[in-house]
Amino acid sequence: MRNISERELSVFISLLSGKIAAMKRDLRELEAVGDSDLSDEQIDDQVETQESIDQYETMLDGLREEYEAGLVDGINLPSYEELTGARGR
């Protein structure tokens, strides 16, 4: 028995995918500055951001299985790739 509907999952997956994409953009901006020009606080932010991205991507992978099971059951929803593909995952 699912605790959340596939429709709710589709919204959450899309939002989480967007959050990951935004965090990756922020991380690239920090990396563009170069480690030698970053303060200790910025380096800590960089490490924390990468750790959060890794955790969110792990969550997203887990949600994918449950979402795709709903698609297999014939529920008319966008594909997982449509939900996440536009965000460069």
Amino acid (1-letter code) at residue 55: Q
Does the CA dihedral 84-85-87-89 come out positive or negative?
positive
Candidate ranges 7-11, 23-27, 41-45, 78-82; pick with highest mean pLDDT:
23-27
Q: Supply 60's token pair.
A: 């997203």
What CA–CA distance (Å, rounded) separates 53 from 19? 9
The answer as to CATH 1.10.287 being correct for domain 6-84 is yes
User: pTM for the full model?
Assistant: 0.77
pLDDT in tens, 16-57: 999 999 999 999 987 887 767 778 888 888 899 999 999 999
Total residue length of the chain: 89
